[in-house]
Amino acid sequence: MANKQDKAELEKTTVTAPKKKKKKAVRRIAGVVFIGMLTIGLGAAGWAAKTGYTMYEQTDITKLSQEPPQSLRIYDANEKLITELTNSRMEYIPLSDFPENLKNAIIAVEDSRFYEHGGIDFKGLSRAMYTNLRNGDVVQGGSTITQQLAKVMLFSSEQTLERKVNEAVAALKIEKNYNKNQILELYLNYIYYGRGAWGIERASQTYFDKNASKLTLAEAALLAGLPKSPNVYSPLNNIEKAKERRDLVLSLMAEQGKITAEQKNEAQSEPIKLTDKSSLAATNKYPSYVDHVIEETLSKTKMSEQEILSSGLQIYTNLDPAVQDAAEAVYMEKKNFPGDKGGLQSSVIVLDSKTGAIRGLVGSRSDKREFRAFNYATQLQRQPGSTIKPVVVYTPALLAGFKPQDLINDVETEFGNSYKPGNSGQRFHGWVTMETALMQSYNVPAVALMKEVGIGKAMDFGRKAGLPLEDDDRVYGLALGGLKYGTSPLVMAQAYTMYANNGKLSKAYAVSKIVDRSGNVVLQEKPQTNQIIDANTAYTMTQMMQKVVTDGTGRSARIKYPVAGKTGTTQLPDVAEFRTGSGKVINGMKDAWFVGYTPELVTAVWVGYPVTNREHYIPSEGGTLPGELFAKVMSGALKNRPVIAFQPPKGYRLAGGKIQRINGEEDKLYASADDSSERRRSSGKTDSPIKKVDRADVSPSPTPAATPAKNGDTAHKPDKETTGPSNNKGNGGDKNDSEGSKDKPGKDKPDKDKTDQTDQDRPGKEDDSSSKEPGKPDKDNGKDKPVVTEPVKTPPVKESGK
């Protein structure tokens, strides 16, 4: 019996043992899994904590403590404010300047638990998640005011999980470093409210034309409702939605005990009265001048545009309101620009002759006042025509010993390899004085005189006078304004200061002083002058240029004040677009200039089209327009000033001595144009008709470095600044307009087909290998006259005339 029991017990034990072992194994596995999961969880939590701490430490919130932007203030020469500009998106004001209703409205709709959470409102976030899940859409946000501030000031607007995490971490750090009022102040100043307005102050001005401190409860509630979706709830876009949003904000304020039910009802019944002031910068009364002030400040301080416009600078300028207002008044009147075919441009700049201070500037005729638009007074690059003659021809000639009464033979003349500049209508005038040649803007005498003095000396002096001359400008066409790139009214006016300032060149400048927001002087400018010619030469040039205005090509510039100056125009290019049915070039011009001065002011005027084509060019009678504009601007600018005459320097005497003859003396310094013209000179008959060359033989070449322009701005009737087309080779206008419809505003385009010529092929290129310096007296022959060095062979050159 016992054996049976033992056997049964044994069998039971045998069956139970595997089951227990299996359970123990499961428990062990479960334990391992639990321990593993716990380890992973703790590890993940540790990793998360470590990662979060690292993110917290690396989050940079220093941008919140940066100085808020301040607007730029610009003052005139009398230290009166003329404009206030900024590129800042907001106008910063302290929290104390905001009304309580405005602060309460913002908190009510954006973050009702603002004063309770520490940057992240977990309770509000949970509520928002539940509400959004229940509605199947995002109808409630969980971001706090602190998080929104972090988003706007520290991060991009991209919708990513990473940005959301960074935003939350930054909010915690902001709360640790700033108190609630500081956070709210930053928020109210930096959040976007639509219509280009950042911050409540700008929004208040934009929508209601008032400071934020003057907002009513209803207006404050309307603005408080905008940050959620400025475009959707803007009252300027949808008045009904804006009203619904406003009333919601008012209801929330009442529910939270910020206002009474009576106040809510009263505010909700208030009609919305708006004003649209999207352009928030102060009125810019003098846009061209202000644009140049910005450009000059950029150049002289190396500051960025953003720094200039938003760092609270005060810039003091040389603007004279009397001069600037006179110029603005003239350029506002469309009747002052007759013959405008649409888009005619013009510019004027007025300098103080003694200091170079820019007293007035109008950079265009545009009705649109765009910030830093193209300035035709300072940024233009166009051929100056004959306004260059005083600088590169007649002043160097006086310095070389020539006199106004010296004679130059105005006859058809070849200056090497068929380069034959001509005058209007191919009229030549025989022997004329230097003074008459300048007064009537004859072209042949100008080229002959420059050749006599030396192109090298002309180039050197032109550069000394501030002209932007390139090595490729070393051509005879330089005498008539044939430059590779052209120049601006500012540069020309600056060059002429030497005549009004007793030989001292006055550097043009607009900015006199810059002061930063702390009162520190950043820049202090003083007049910069340089004696480049003697006072006697300057006064002699002034006397000659006074006759240009009284009796020559510049009569349209006459006013009751003494004026000296020079006209200039550039011809249309000799291309098919500008030819008539008979093959002649239209009697018109591309550019028209006048540069003139009184004892006090130097003024340069330019007129032309940004793009010259068959429909847009200056007709022949338009050559007098710059002089007329000069007269109107200067009459207004000098209206309340006494009449002052040009004063000769002490001990001044006009140079005397033997009359020198240029271009046709017996020793034949120049080759004659042809045998018949030589016979006419020998017999004294210099005004008889001259053989003409068919214009069809002249090919267009707008690139001065290759083949400067052909149709010169030639002199003809003394009372008219008009230049007709010439049939003479080398007679042409502005050399950069090969395809009139293709040129860019302000800068002429080279002709790509003409840029492969060698230096030897360039027009009028002077032979530097000569053993004699051009213009230097020949001591060996005992004659007191310049020795002329013949240039190498040159192709035709296009020149600008008077």
Query: DSSP for 558-588?
Result: --SS--EEEEEEEEPPSSGGGB-TTSPBPSE
Query: What percent of the chain is modeled with pLDDT above 70?
Result: 72
Q: Is 110 part of the annotated catalytic residue set?
A: yes
State whether CATH 1.10.3810.10 applies to domain 95-268. Answer: yes
Tell me the average pLDDT across 496-518.
Answer: 97
Q: Which residues contact 775 (CB under 8 A, 6 or more apart)?
A: 396, 400, 452, 453, 454, 457, 786, 787
Q: List pLDDT tens digits, range 204-247.
A: 988 999 999 999 999 999 999 999 888 889 998 899 999 999 99
With CA atoms as reference, report the closest residue to 371 among 277, 286, 278, 490.
286
Q: How does strand 564-571 pair with strand 521-524? A: unpaired
Q: In the predicted model, what is the mean pLDDT of residues 664-684? A: 42
| Helices 217-224, 100-110: inter-axial angle, 10-degree rounding | 30
- Rounded Cα distance between 378 and 398, Å, is 30
Mutual angle of helices 261-268 and 239-255, in 10-degree steps: 170
The pLDDT tens digits of the residues spanning 362-387 come to: 999 987 777 888 999 999 999 999 99
Helical packing angle, 145-154 and 100-110, nearest 10°: 90
**pLDDT-based confidence at 71, cuts 50/70/90?**
confident
Per-residue pLDDT, 251:
95
Structure tokens at 523: 């820049």
- Judge whether 219 counts as a catalytic residue: no
CA distances to 50, 374, 389, 441 from 800, in Å: 77, 25, 10, 11
Task: Please tell me the predicted confidence (pLDDT) of residue 202.
Answer: 87
For residues 607-633, average pLDDT? 94
pLDDT, position 161 = 73
285: pLDDT confidence band, cut at 50, 70 and 90?
A: confident
Distance CA 292, CA 654 (A): 41
pLDDT at 155: 78
The total of other beta-carbon atoms located within 10 Å of residue 300's CB is: 14
Under a CB-based contact definition with an 8 Å cutoff, are residues 493 and 598 in contact? Answer: no
Residue 52: pLDDT over 90: no
Q: Helix H segments across 640-692?
A: 675-683
The token duo for 235 is 């009252």
Break the chain into its structural domains and give their ranges. 95-268
In angstroms, how far is CA 342 from the centroid of its own chain? 23
- What is the 8-class DSSP label of residue 674? -
How many helices and strands in the chain, by DSSP H and E? 23, 16
Q: Whole-angstrom Cα distance, residue 617 to residue 625?
A: 13
Task: Record the pTM.
Answer: 0.67
CA atoms of 16 and 18, how far apart (whole Å): 6
Residues 438-469, buried b or exposed e (16+ Cβ, 10 A)? bbbbbbbbbbbbbbbbbbbbbbebbebbbbeb
Predicted confidence (pLDDT) at residue 571 exceeds the cutoff of 50:
yes
Give the largest Cα separation in the chain, rounded.
173
Long-range contacts of 48-53, Cβ-Cβ distance < 8 Å, separation of 24 or more: 52/169
pLDDT tens, residue by residue, 584-599? 888 899 999 999 999 9
Return the H-helix or E-strand segment holding 748: none
Looking at 501-533, list the stretches that DSSP marks H as alpha helix, in order from N- to C-terminal side.
none
Per-residue pLDDT at 122 = 84
Q: What six digits make up the tokens of 598? A: 């009184």
- DSSP annotation of 639 reads T
Query: What span, in angstroms and rounded, lies between the C-alpha atoms of 203 and 261?
Result: 27
Lowest-confidence pick of 22-31, 250-259, 497-506, 678-687: 678-687
**For residue 643, what pLDDT band results from cuts at 50, 70 and 90?**
very high
Q: What is the pLDDT of residues 387-414, one digit of tens each?
A: 999 999 999 999 999 999 999 999 999 9
What is the pLDDT confidence band of residue 734, given thresholds at 50, 70 and 90? Answer: very low
Quote the Cα angle for 709-743-701, to 5°: 25
Confidence of residue 276 (pLDDT cuts 50, 70, 90): low
Q: What is the mean pLDDT of the chain?
A: 79
Q: What is the mean pLDDT of residues 624-633?
A: 98
pLDDT, residue 672, reads: 38
Helix 145-154 to helix 180-190 angle (10° resolution) is 50
Joined tokens for residue 791: 């240039």
Window from 66-70, 336-340, 434-438, 473-477 with minimum mean pLDDT:
66-70
Compute the distance between CA of residue 790 and CA of residue 414 in angstroms, rounded to an integer.
12
pLDDT classification of 300: cutoffs 50, 70, 90: very high
Radius of gyration of the chain (CA): 40
Q: Yes or no: say if 192 and 202 are a contact pair by the CB < 8 Å rule.
A: no
Distances (CA, A) of 456 to 12, 453, 751, 764: 127, 8, 26, 12
pLDDT of residue 515 exceeding 80: yes
pLDDT at 723: 35
Confidence band for 45, pLDDT divided at 50, 70 and 90 = low
C-alpha 305/C-alpha 297 separation (Å) is: 9
Question: Residue 79 pLDDT > 50, yes or no?
Answer: yes
Pairwise pLDDT comparison (218 vs 281), residue with the higher score: 218
Q: What is the pLDDT of residue 4?
A: 58
| Those residues with Cβ within 8 angstroms of residue 719's Cβ, 6 or more apart along the chain or in another chain | 555
Residue 672, strand partner residues: 413
The identity of residue 492, as a single letter, is M
Asked whether the beta carbons of 86 and 72 are under 8 A apart, the reply is yes
Average pLDDT value for residue range 275-304: 79
The answer to whether 512 and 523 are in contact (CB under 8 A) is: no
Tokens of 461: 């002096």
pLDDT tens readout for residues 182-195: 999 999 998 888 87
Catalytic residue among 91, 110, 328, 412: 110
Residues in the chain: 802
Q: How far apart are the first and last CA of the chain?
A: 148
pLDDT band at 510 (very low <50, low <70, confident <90, very high): very high
CA distances from 213 to 102, 103, 267, 274, 681 (A): 9, 11, 17, 17, 88
Token pair in block for residue 296: 């000059």
Nearest to 286 by CA among 488, 489, 77: 77
Residue 534 is predicted with a pLDDT of 97
> 738 pLDDT exceeds 50?
no
The answer on pLDDT for 96 being more than 80 is yes
Whole-Å CA distances, 276 to 93, 194, 207, 402, 601: 21, 12, 6, 67, 43
Listed residue (186, 195, 188) closest to 99, CA to CA: 188
- For residues 199 and 721, the model is more confident at 199
**Helix, strand or coil for residue 597?**
strand
pLDDT at 615 over 70: yes
Tell me if residue 678 falls in helix, strand or coil: helix
Distance from CA of residue 126 to its chain's centroid?
54
How much of the chain exceeds pLDDT 90, in percent? 54
Cα(786)–Cα(194) distance, integer angstroms: 74
Please tell me the distance from the alpha carbon of residue 11 to that of residue 9, in angstroms, as a whole number.
5
Encoded amino acid at 282, one letter: A
Q: At what angle do helices 180-190 and 200-208 cross, to 10 degrees?
A: 40
d(CA 195, CA 185): 21
Single out the residue of 584, 587, 591 nearest to residue 748, CA to CA.
591
Active-site option among 386, 506, 512, 672: 386
**What's the mean pLDDT in 660-682?**
52
pLDDT at residue number 64? 81
